[in-house]
Structure 1
């Protein structure tokens, strides 16, 4: 039966080393005491890409250790971005953090294993052979032999199992009941430290959502140190209020919305907000990675046998042995004549190239490791580039909050970033795709501030009342942008599109290819009506199509990515018109060699065709007609041959049924003779026509291949 000792006794042993360790400062590798230090949060920079830069600064003295607690999901960003700096001659020796391996695996790595919640006896059994000092109540020093279980009487006819600690002391072996021991002290300081570290790891594992990251600073005297890192944060947002007044310029007020979702209060921190989209990603650097390595068996070499030397042979015996060896080779023994079951001899030199390669790789690895170590030493002395200036930095823009910010954990805040007058002009914006009848009330806003305005919603107030909501995209200083916030019911626009026309512009020929340039024209008329009592400035947005060219008006008021904008001042109760005419040029091609006469005739009848092109087309048509005529004549003769052949087949059939002495039979014979004469003539004419057709076709081909006129 396993007996569990009283909790107070187990606690006395488990915590035995703690008072001693607490009284003595921790020491590093150099033996100097290590002092704990705190680094409060001093600066926060939030990015619109969903990350935040956090900087902690403070003072340390001598050799100091800073412990920081982070959420497990933030460790990867920390490992990717952590920068630790020790100024005034100090240096950062190590940064340690808890492994992601299970706590059981971590506890098993210590000399004293606390994995299975051991009893005092089980704990002492793990340190057998170690010197201890026991208080019972007098002190006793000895070496642990082990813990054994003995039965002790406990009343009438009852026994209990008691654990006894067996010690080798100066006076010999002693067995002490564990319940009588008041205190046990391990004499081995290394084991004391291992026990303390195991208990620290066990305590840290209770909060599975956080890990401790410790930075060790080494130096002399008081020094300033800094720790900075990147962590995931909510995207900071902006919202604006725009006040419109007939007598005053527009007034813009902008607010930044920030959230402190961490478990730490921000107290008097320098806060900056950066707009832009820097590339940011996550990488799993926290998870331990183990690679699979191949198992290579060591090479075994056959030992050399002691040679046995035979007696010398006479010449005839040597010749006979040579003939015998030649016969064996000719006999085709496998593996050069080895006997069955005999192994091939090993090649002792086969491993030498591998050994040389291994040496070369080892030297290369050492050189690479030395280079990387030098790079790390250089980087550790470098600080972060200052980003505290409120200005543009590449594609980013930074808002520096001038007043230190205090924000409690899990709280949000609105911070003013702009509060000033700004340039703007009231307009009405018409787009048929947005609303077919009415334009939208809007504002042509110019960013006359020195700040980059990040995208966000805008609440518009006009004449002291709520007028609507608008949205704005990122707007750099001096840039202009249109805003729309309501439907303008006092203005109306009617659009009408006329049917498109197709016109021939020009015709040219390049190496027998006819290229006809055409244009398609389209016209759209906008009729504007203003029912307000004052003049309105209305912007008409007309679709910008890539293949179409603007003809009228010659230039738009402004050109956006996908629309033309035309500005018109429309007086009250007086309609206005805008005519937009566009052309789309395109071309058609046709191979004259394969074109039909009808196609060529269409272009010959066209008005907009150059005289030289017309003459070339006429010549091509004439040559093509000659080829066609020759082909037609040949076809007629071929058709006549077919007719005669069919007629002769009919006559042969009739002659088979008619008496050869009859007059009808003689007529058939005469008819045959006449047809044969005609067939011979037709075949000669066809051969002549084929030759003529081939010559005329070649003439046409050469003419067209060399024909280039405009």
Structure 2
């Protein structure tokens, strides 16, 4: 095999290797957002030329160009510069040979046709300008290449290129271009970073400026540990889980977490875009588990109507109706050991803003690139009540045991997974916790309560709410009602507080004596069920529908229904008379339809007889029979037609009566 170009370049001019090493400056702090971005603040090292150089991963360049801010009380920013997105391709645009031409001696010499070279192979040397390369098949393994040059005296010489072939470029300019290409290839082999030079004016030392920018980062997660303590209280610890995927180690940095979910956009700023232009041709050419609780929306009304309650939240018993915890303690084996305690977490500075909560972690942290860190961000006692939760339409008749948590920490908590412990019995289940604003509540469901069963029965009814007649039209407002009865069979060994979630029906009103707030999708009902008893809860959904009916076409039974539903005696009498007149009219219309059907049947039979008459011999007995049958059918048609005429007159008379009654409304 022929030598590669990388060997040949040893004969060319030497060149210095470009260094991308840069002192990025120490990271001072990082703020991680729930939007999947990290705000990085770092010290800026300014060199003697007034340039800040940072080296960043190639996939972060777009975001840094978008978001980089130079901060400081002195100086000004003159601009930023960095290598383009495709330096290798851009380099070869200005060279007389392509990247592929450097793969072998024959391809390089072919691309440099006309250049002056000195080539040695097999002990023979030729000098001159390249005329061309000819490929000849020497054997089955590889072709042989024959170089042809013309020397200074005009003589044409050839040289078979072997594995020992070496090339010397006699043109210094061509040697420099080849060296430039080799340097670009060397850089392109490790094209995963970019050195960004930031030119600043008027800065005397590095302590005067800092850099802040926003780059993608893994979303930080939240894991909650909740220990039910009794007395309607629980100990809640929130831990964050985060990763360093920045491409560099974190050493002694300040970490801050924010639950904000900002609008995050990206754009390929470090890419080449060309405006498409219309080409004008020249004449010679052409050219895409239970759901987490979403909260009780009625809390907003309660908080808005009671300023004192906002300042001092009501005790959990008032909120939950004084739910007893003894029933749940009876469900598990009581342990004589002391109640579970969890270690106190380091204090985290938590602050609340209009749209998010911010958690400033204490101290500083070291975290190697690619490693994971988990630290507590909240440790507080919150209000907690044990309840059973049942959602209408569930495939299971048993409710789900849940804890109603009220956020009394004065700061909103982000969504996360939740692990629940009973202070006496230990682990009792897991749950999902959706984002929990301060002073709001969430149901955290964690286990099935098989000691309680719930059945539901739906009873639909409808009644006329009002009737109004105008211009021969009856406008009937009908009230549709669906009554759902929930029967709760309580546990034999303890009291339960049961919350039932009843679906909200768009366009329907809701009422229930057991109403207890609502979520975005469900109304809530609540009942306390003593041990060994049954309780029923009733939910009523109602909707008014207005329908218009033409009285002249109204069905008699419908009209009688209207007459029975109104309390206006005069209207009742008119509707009753109309129903009777419509009943007689409908009967007459049905008789007319029967006569029409009979006439159609006789006429069809006549057609059959006529066809048969034409098919039998003249004066035959069969033809005589057919003629008699035809005469009989004519008599039948006459009789039926007379009856129909009389019935039509009767129907018209009844229609006039209906119209006259309607005119009296």
Please give the TM-score of this superposition, normalised by the length of structure 1.
Answer: 0.58
Aligned partner (choices 481, 485, 494) of residue 446 of structure 2: 485
Larger Rg: 1
* Displacement of 1:459: 0.7
* Displacement of 1:610: 1.9
Q: 1:480-559 counterparts in 2 under 5 A?
A: 480-489=441-450, 491-497=451-457, 499-516=459-476, 517-533=478-494, 535-546=495-506, 549-553=509-513, 556-559=515-518
- Going from structure 1 to structure 2, the CA distance change for 1:117 and 1:39 (only over 3 Å counts) comes to farther
Q: Render the CA deviation track for 1:366-424: whole Å, top value 9, x for unaligned.
A: xxxxxxxxxxxxxxxxxxxxxx9954444333222232222111101002110111111
Q: Secondary structure at the match of 2:50?
A: strand
- Going from structure 1 to structure 2, the CA distance change for 1:499 and 1:63 (only over 3 Å counts) comes to same
Distance 2:42 2:576 in 1: 90
Indicate yes or no: 2:75 matched with 1:90: yes
Q: Is the 8 A contact 2:349 2:362 kept in 1?
A: no
Distance 2:201 2:657 in 1: 98
- Which residue is equivalent to 1:612? 570
* Displacement of 1:707: 7.4
- Which residue is equivalent to 1:423? 383
- Going from structure 1 to structure 2, the CA distance change for 1:396 and 1:198 (only over 3 Å counts) comes to farther
Q: Is the 8 A contact 1:61 1:220 kept in 2?
A: no
Distance 1:118 1:630 in 2: 101
Aligned partner (choices 603, 613, 637) of residue 562 of structure 2: 603
Indicate yes or no: 2:431 matched with 1:470: yes
* Displacement of 1:257: 0.7
Aligned partner (choices 51, 66, 80) of residue 65 of structure 1: 51
* Displacement of 1:457: 0.9
- Which residue is equivalent to 1:669? none
- Going from structure 1 to structure 2, the CA distance change for 1:202 and 1:67 (only over 3 Å counts) comes to farther
* Displacement of 1:458: 0.8
Q: Over aligned residues, Cα RMSD in angstroms?
A: 5.1
* Displacement of 1:242: 0.3
Distance 1:114 1:611 in 2: 101
Q: Is the 8 A contact 2:4 2:103 kept in 1?
A: no
Q: 1:573-588 counterparts in 2 under 5 A?
A: 573=532, 575-587=533-545, 588=547
Higher mean C-alpha displacement, 453-462 vs 267-276: 267-276
Q: 1:307-322 counterparts in 2 under 5 A?
A: none
Q: Is the 8 A contact 1:107 1:115 kept in 2?
A: no
Q: Secondary structure at the match of 2:62?
A: helix
> Which consecutive unaligned segments of at least 5 residues does structure 2 have?
109-114, 129-171, 284-347, 597-641
Q: Secondary structure at the match of 1:63?
A: coil
* Displacement of 1:597: 4.1
Distance 2:9 2:281 in 1: 54
Q: 1:667-706 counterparts in 2 under 5 A?
A: 704=662
Q: Secondary structure at the match of 2:275?
A: coil
Higher mean C-alpha displacement, 210-219 vs 388-397: 388-397
Please give the TM-score of this superposition, normalised by the length of structure 2.
Answer: 0.62
* Displacement of 1:85: 1.8
Distance 2:388 2:4 in 1: 90
Distance 1:627 1:9 in 2: 113
* Displacement of 1:548: 5.0
Q: Secondary structure at the match of 1:507?
A: strand
* Displacement of 1:481: 0.7
Q: Secondary structure at the match of 1:250?
A: strand
Q: Secondary structure at the match of 1:105?
A: helix
Indicate yes or no: 2:218 matched with 1:226: no
Distance 1:38 1:71 in 2: 12
Q: Is the 8 A contact 1:531 1:572 kept in 2?
A: yes
Aligned partner (choices 161, 177, 190) of residue 207 of structure 1: 190
Distance 1:230 1:209 in 2: 19
Distance 1:105 1:530 in 2: 78
Q: Is the 8 A contact 1:509 1:613 kept in 2?
A: no
Q: Is the 8 A contact 2:510 2:542 kept in 1?
A: no
Indicate yes or no: 2:294 matched with 1:294: no
- Which residue is equivalent to 2:412? 452
Q: Is the 8 A contact 1:82 1:227 kept in 2?
A: no
Distance 1:52 1:521 in 2: 52
Q: Render the CA deviation track for 1:116-160: whole Å, top value 9, x for unaligned.
A: 7799xxx9xxxxxxxxxxxxxxxxxxxxxx977599xx9xxx775
Q: Render the CA deviation track for 1:563-598: whole Å, top value 9, x for unaligned.
A: 33332233334x031231525344454210212445
- Going from structure 1 to structure 2, the CA distance change for 1:88 and 1:585 (only over 3 Å counts) comes to closer
* Displacement of 1:48: 1.8
Q: Render the CA deviation track for 1:654-689: whole Å, top value 9, x for unaligned.
A: xxxxxxxxxxxxxxxxxxxxxxxxxxxx9xx99xx8
- Going from structure 1 to structure 2, the CA distance change for 1:204 and 1:707 (only over 3 Å counts) comes to farther
* Displacement of 1:273: 1.7
Indicate yes or no: 2:370 matched with 1:410: yes
- Going from structure 1 to structure 2, the CA distance change for 1:196 and 1:698 (only over 3 Å counts) comes to farther
Distance 2:34 2:222 in 1: 10
Distance 1:280 1:577 in 2: 51
Distance 1:613 1:468 in 2: 64
Q: Render the CA deviation track for 1:146-204: whole Å, top value 9, x for unaligned.
A: 977599xx9xxx775689xxxxxxxxxxxxxxxxxxxxxx9x9xx99x99987875543
Q: 1:131-150 counterparts in 2 under 5 A?
A: 149=118
Aligned partner (choices 570, 573, 588) of residue 529 of structure 2: 570
Q: Is the 8 A contact 2:487 2:537 kept in 1?
A: yes
Distance 2:220 2:590 in 1: 84
- State how many pairs are aligned: 501
Distance 2:518 2:119 in 1: 99
Distance 2:231 2:262 in 1: 42
> Which consecutive unaligned segments of at least 5 residues does structure 1 have?
23-34, 124-145, 164-185, 300-387, 639-681
- Going from structure 1 to structure 2, the CA distance change for 1:147 and 1:64 (only over 3 Å counts) comes to farther
Q: Is the 8 A contact 1:108 1:114 kept in 2?
A: no
Indicate yes or no: 2:368 matched with 1:396: no
Distance 1:4 1:440 in 2: 73
- Which residue is equivalent to 1:171? none
Aligned partner (choices 241, 246, 249) of residue 262 of structure 1: 246
Distance 1:286 1:429 in 2: 54
Distance 1:253 1:395 in 2: 22
